């Protein structure tokens, strides 16, 4: 009997591993069993069930509706399909109205006839009143940047948006969502190949080996391969809910690389990780980096909560999380960084 690991089944169906874990928690798709090592495995029956779930999702059914369909024999009733058809038609009408509104706005901006008293708050209110959600706003900015980049910049400045924020919005519109994140004393930026030596040195410090052994490197070749992987994740514009995203933490004044901060997918959502080199600790850089990273993540992605998990003895990191806006949830024993240990779990919620 052919079996699949969770990652292999996810790839075969064009989904993420975290999606299958979520379906497991909902009771939509349970593994056929577990290996002797405790890993989930799936058979052809689960693959077929997952294909049906994906088919129903494409048809617009909610996960709750899909669960009801599967538990009742697998065929959606006519009433449910008629309901979904009506909702789809309403949505299409709404999207057409949004398209006409945004096209009119674009023509006004291009001709210079937009009322001068419109500011950023009023502009956003107008878009939301027209039914434009966050994704719709992003598509509008992306289209404006593609068609008239200089006009896009002038328009944003005319709304009273500071120049550095205008540059960030334009970068996001061009798909450069992960170029940099600004904090008071540090900047979170993409790693570069020239960071290799410092990246390796930070991975050799005792604190790193104690608290984040998975971030400590065997040798320079190992460090270089990890750095290459980190850089590639940014190049693909990856989502921290599905793959790890790690930023370099750079001091604003000196331009020195002082640490790193990142987001990692887990079975219970997204977790934050961070490390500042020993010589730059106790200066508030870790707090700034974590706070800015979490604010950015919940703004750019539909992430409502971020977890922070530390060893119970790691008091310094716990203080960082609290200062960055996390709240303590609980203490319990779990497997973390390769060992079973007592940990403290913190949580950050979207502001």
Q: Residue 267: in which H helix or E strand, if any?
A: none
Of the residues 153, 173, 193, which one is the last residue of a structural domain?
A: 173
> Does 298 fall in a domain?
yes
198 with 320, same domain: the answer is yes
| Residues found in the chain | 351
> Does 132 fall in a domain?
yes
166 with 65, same domain: the answer is no
> Does 76 fall in a domain?
no
Per the structure, the count of domains in the chain is: 3
295 with 326, same domain: the answer is yes
296 with 228, same domain: the answer is yes
Quick one: pLDDT at residue 350?
76
339 with 199, same domain: the answer is yes
220 with 258, same domain: the answer is yes
> Does 245 fall in a domain?
yes
Exposed, middle or buried: residue 113 (CB in 10 Å: 0-12, 13-18, 19+)? exposed
Of the residues 173, 193, 218, which one is the last residue of a structural domain?
A: 173
What is the spatial order of strands in the sheet that 33-34 belongs to?
A: 4-5, 40-42, 33-34
Among candidates 273, 294, 276, which has minimal Cα distance to 286?
276
327 with 246, same domain: the answer is yes
What is the residue range of 189's domain? 180-349
Domain CATH number, residue 341: 3.40.630.30
Quick one: pLDDT at residue 85?
64
Per-residue b or e along 142-179, where b marks 16 or more CB atoms closer than 10 Å to that residue's CB? bebbeeeeeebbebbeeeebeeeebbbbbebbeeebbe
d(CA 256, CA 273): 20
Q: How many CA atoms lie within 13 A of 213 on its CB side?
A: 6
pLDDT tens string for the chain (351 positions)? 789 999 889 888 888 887 888 888 888 899 999 988 888 999 999 999 998 888 887 777 778 888 887 877 656 665 666 566 666 666 666 666 666 666 666 666 566 655 445 677 777 777 766 666 655 776 777 778 888 888 888 888 877 777 766 776 777 676 554 457 889 899 898 888 888 888 888 888 888 778 877 767 777 778 888 888 888 877 655 678 888 899 999 888 777 899 999 999 887 889 999 999 999 999 999 999 999 999 988 888 878 899 999 999 999 999 999 999 999 999 999 887 778 899 999 999 876
Domain CATH number, residue 19: 1.10.1660.10
């Amino acid at each position: 009997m052919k079996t699949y690991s969770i990652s292999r089944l996810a790839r075969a169906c064009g989904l993420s591993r975290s999606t299958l874990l979520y379906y497991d928690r909902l009771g939509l798709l349970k593994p056929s069993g577990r290996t002797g090592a405790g890993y989930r495995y799936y058979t052809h029956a689960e693959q077929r069930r997952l294909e049906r779930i994906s088919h129903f999702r494409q048809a617009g059914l909610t996960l709750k509706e899909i669960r009801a369909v599967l538990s009742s024999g697998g065929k959606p009733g006519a009433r449910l399909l008629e309901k979904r058809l009506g909702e789809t038609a309403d949505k299409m009408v709404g999207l057409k109205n949004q398209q006409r509104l945004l096209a009119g706005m674009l023509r006004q901006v291009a001709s210079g006839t937009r009322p001068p008293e419109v500011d950023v708050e009023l502009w956003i209110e107008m878009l939301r009143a027209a039914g434009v959600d966050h994704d719709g706003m992003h598509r509008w900015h992306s289209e404006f940047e593609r068609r008239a980049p200089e006009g896009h910049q002038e328009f944003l400045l005319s709304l009273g948006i500071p120049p550095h924020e205008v540059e960030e919005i334009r970068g996001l519109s061009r798909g450069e969502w992960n170029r940099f994140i600004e904090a008071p004393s540090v900047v979170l930026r993409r790693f570069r190949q020239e960071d290799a030596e410092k990246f390796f040195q930070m991975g050799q410090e005792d604190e790193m080996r104690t608290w984040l052994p998975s971030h400590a490197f065997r040798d320079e070749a190992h460090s270089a391969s990890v750095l290459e992987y980190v850089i590639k994740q940014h190049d693909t514009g990856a989502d921290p809910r599905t793959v790890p995203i790690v930023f370099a933490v750079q001091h604003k004044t000196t331009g020195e690389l002082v640490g790193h901060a990142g987001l990692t997918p887990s079975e219970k959502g997204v977790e934050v990780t961070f490390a500042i080199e020993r010589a730059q600790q106790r200066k508030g850089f870790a707090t700034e980096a974590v706070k800015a990273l979490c604010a950015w993540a919940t703004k750019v992605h539909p992430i409502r909560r971020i977890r922070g998990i530390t060893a119970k003895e790691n008091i310094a990191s716990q203080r960082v999380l609290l200062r960055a806006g996390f709240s303590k949830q609980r203490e319990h024993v779990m497997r973390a960084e390769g060992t079973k240990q007592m940990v403290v779990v913190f949580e950050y919620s979207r502001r």
